Amino acid sequence: MNVRSTTAFRLLAPERRSNPCFHCSKMSSMKSFCSLLLLSLISLACLCSAQERSQDDQPHVVPKNLPEPKEEPTPVPQGESSSKDSETNGRGPGRTSNTANHQSSVQELKEFDPHKAAKDVEVGEYYLKRKNYRAALDRFNEALLYKPNDGQATFRLAQTQEKLELYALAYRNYQNYVNVIVGGPFTKEAEAALKRLEPHLPKPTEAGQAGDLAQLMQEGEAYLAKNSFEAAHESFAKALEIAPDNPICNFRLAQSLEGLEVLDEARIYYKKYLALQPNGNLAGDAKRQIAQINIVLGKP
């Protein structure tokens, strides 16, 4: 650079630095450039985000990855059963079974399962040894649903029914064991039990009613084992209509009433049992229950 141009630059530079318009113009240009750059970056980010978003996130678009809706079954009107129910239980729409207030006395067989049957027998024998006869009764009955005509379950059921003084049912099951399990390990015991129970069997003219009574008593025992006191009371009340002087029926009815907390009436039937069988196997239990009820009711 020559002397003239250097001199001219030095003369002009102080003028530019001292001019405020020059500085404002420069700052304004920088701000505009920064704003433009920021807007460009924001636009680029939005574009990338929009490209990466799935259609499932878009409004008013059915997500493409959702499973197809399933058809819901048509509701069945109240009081009617579906066609499938009609096929399985043999009843048409609107019809009910003969038992109105509790389950049918005839239990349906379950799918054949000898392992479950063996387990029920094992638990039932445990209850039988501990003299929890109602629980044992329930287990042996269930075992025969899983494996009909099982010899051990049939024999143990008969023993349990005899302990509960359900003599007609016990006799029938001892007889079933002897007839079905020929030469079985319990044959001699079963034959001895048949002879022992013969005096307790009803007369031929009373056989029909005796069969109904035994069935009702067994139902009631099963309900008591499950603490279904209302259903048990219904079964024993019906049994008492057939045999009002049956001591076991009176005792079991008292137990069901006690479970329902109808204590005054329960005490009456405990006392009736003692009147009918003062030295019976359950006499001590009846006296204890009467004493407990008296304490609760505050009576002597």
| pTM for the predicted model, two decimal places | 0.51
Give the model's confidence band at 274: pLDDT under 50 very low, under 70 low, under 90 confident, else very high. Answer: very high
Buried b / exposed e over 96-133, threshold 16 CB at 10 Å, is: eeeeeeeeeeeeeeeeeeeebbbebbebbbebbeeebb
Instruction: Name the residue type at position 5.
Output: S
Give the mean model confidence (pLDDT) for residues 85-97: 34
Asked which of 69-78, 129-138, 263-272 is least confident by mean pLDDT, the reply is: 69-78
155 has pLDDT over 80: yes
18 has pLDDT over 80: no
Give the mean model confidence (pLDDT) for residues 22-27: 53
89 has pLDDT over 80: no
pLDDT computed for residue 24 by the predictor: 52
Asked if the domains at 114-200 and 205-297 fall in one CATH topology, the answer is yes
DSSP 58: S
Q: Which residues contact 63 (CB under 8 A, 6 or more apart)?
A: 55, 56
**φ and ψ at 242, to 5 degrees?**
-75, -40
- Select from 3.30.420.10, 1.10.3660.10, 1.25.40.10, 1.10.10.10 the CATH code of 114-200: 1.25.40.10
103 has pLDDT over 70: no
CATH of domain 205-297: 1.25.40.10
Domain extents for the chain? 114-200, 205-297
Give the residue, 89 or 140, on which the prediction is more confident.
140
Torsion sign across C-alpha atoms 292, 295, 299, 300: positive
Give the mean model confidence (pLDDT) for residues 259-268: 93
d(CA 141, CA 125) in angstroms, rounded, equals 12
